[in-house]
């Protein structure tokens, strides 16, 4: 608004702001009911061994089937769920559902689950994970928890303690979206984790024509290897990207090149054949 426009200039934007607040309030109201109404669903996206093409496991990705708006992706409702605390019951549902689903799979397949920073602020995280493992009967080493650097920056004392306990149980910790946060190398050295997931933004830059494009991927893989961690590249969309990641020693890969996230009923045999074909083609 123009300076000195006074009340009038401000009012010009009011309807829009009002509209925005209205949309948000409605979304929040709907989100509160979504769990009880069974509107959530998990889709599963495989991550595969770069060397063999074998599927190592699947990452659970939350989907919301809104009665009027149709499919809503997590980017649109996870932030709101975090602000309102709804992420706690939702996260619990994700954990239980994903572990129960994984119990139906061959026992060499892992299940990766995304955790929000807010879930570490609640006191129940470790016990709810123990509960989900016990209920589903899956072995703890099949469970991989994905956390971002934001999680570990928040309240590192409590987070360290929780992650330490989980790792003692045999649960594995992956650092998601790696390279987009601000954590220092010395901090990461102390941080209890098992795997780095190279963020999609770096993977999408990979082109064989330029040596530069490889530098970050190479640095992350070497960083992980030197700390004794494993590496996954997320957002792999082309054979070219996969070939470069393989040359750089990246251990696992995930992305549309292999498979989009799939409904639980559609995952197993088809996905394995496609993943192998994709590896051989690269
Ligand atoms: P993320 O954990 O980094 O998941 C990867 C996102 O990239 C997913 O988006 C996935 O569908 C998408 N993706 C995978 N391969 C490709 C590719 O080749 N190209 C492109 N362009 N995209 C690809 P999605 O499902 O929309 O999830 C977005 C984010 O929402 C996730 O990022 C994760 O941080 C969060 N999220 C999803 N499910 C949950 C959940 O159950 N709990 C929590 N706390 N967060 C979740
Ligand atoms: Mg993830
Ligand atoms: Mg990620
Ligand atoms: Mg990402």
pLDDT digits (tens, 9 = 90+) for 210-233: 888 899 899 999 999 999 999 999
- Whose CA is closest to 271, among 112, 42, 48, 49? 48
CB atoms within 10 A of CB 188: 19
Report helix, strand or coil for 38. coil
Backbone angles phi, psi at 123, to 5 degrees: -85, -15
Distance (Å, whole) CA 222 – CA 62: 31
61 Cβ below 6 A of ligand 1: yes
List C-alpha distances in Å: 216 to 7, 52, 188, 189, 223.
50, 24, 17, 18, 10
Q: DSSP assignment, residue 191?
A: S
Backbone angles phi, psi at 78, to 5 degrees: -65, -45
What does the pLDDT average to over 229-240? 97
DSSP string, 208-272: TT-SHHHHHHHHHHHHHHHTT-EEEE----SHHHHHHHHHTT--EE-STTT---EEGGG-HHHHH
What does the pLDDT average to over 3-29? 71
In the chain, the N- to C-terminal Cα span, in Å, equals: 54
151 Cβ below 6 A of ligand 1: no
- Whose CA is closest to 263, among 39, 36, 35, 45? 45
237 Cβ below 6 A of ligand 1: yes
Ligand 1: which residue has its CA nearest to atom 4?
A: 61
Backbone angles phi, psi at 108, to 5 degrees: -90, 0
Mean pLDDT for all residues in the chain: 89
Distance 29 CA to ligand 4 centre (A): 28
Ligand 1: which residue has its CA nearest to atom 7?
A: 235
255 Cβ below 6 A of ligand 1: yes
pLDDT digits (tens, 9 = 90+) for 93-106: 999 999 999 999 99
Whether residue 258 has pLDDT greater than 80: yes
pTM: 0.91
118 Cβ below 6 A of ligand 1: no
Residues of the chain with pLDDT > 70, as a percent, come to: 92
Whether residue 66 has pLDDT greater than 80: yes
CB burial of 37-56 (b: ≥16 within 10 Å; e: otherwise) equals eebbebbbbbbbebeebebb
Q: What is the pLDDT of residue 47?
A: 97
């Amino acid at each position: 608004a123009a300076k000195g426009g006074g009340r009038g200039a401000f009012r010009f934007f009011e309807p829009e702001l009002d509209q925005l607040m209205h949309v948000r309030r409605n979304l929040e109201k709907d989100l509160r009911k979504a769990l009880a109404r069974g509107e959530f669903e998990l889709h599963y996206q495989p991550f595969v061994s770069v060397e063999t093409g074998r599927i190592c496991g699947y990452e659970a990705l939350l989907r919301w089937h809104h009665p009027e708006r149709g499919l809503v992706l997590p980017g649109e409702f996870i932030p709101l769920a975090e602000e309102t605390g709804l992420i706690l019951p939702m996260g619990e549902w994700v954990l239980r559902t994903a572990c129960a689903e994984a119990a139906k799979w061959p026992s060499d397949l892992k299940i990766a689950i995304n955790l929000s920073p807010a879930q570490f602020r609640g006191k129940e995280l470790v016990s709810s994970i123990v509960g989900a493992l016990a209920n589903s009967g899956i072995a703890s080493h099949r469970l991989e928890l994905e956390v971002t650097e934001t999680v570990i920056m928040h309240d590192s004392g409590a987070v360290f303690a929780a992650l330490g306990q989980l790792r003692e149980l045999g649960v594995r910790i992956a650092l998601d979206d790696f390279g987009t946060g601000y954590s220092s190398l010395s901090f990461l050295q102390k941080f209890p984790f098992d795997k780095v997931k190279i963020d999609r933004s770096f993977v999408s830059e990979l082109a064989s024509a330029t040596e530069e494009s490889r530098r970050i991927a190479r640095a992350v893989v070497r960083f992980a290897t030197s700390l004794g961690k494993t590496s996954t590249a997320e957002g792999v969309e082309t054979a070219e990207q996969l070939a470069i990641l393989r040359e750089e020693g990246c251990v696992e890969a995930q992305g549309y090149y292999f498979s989009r996230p799939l409904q639980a009923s559609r995952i197993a045999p088809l996905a394995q054949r496609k993943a192998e074909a994709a590896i051989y083609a690269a």
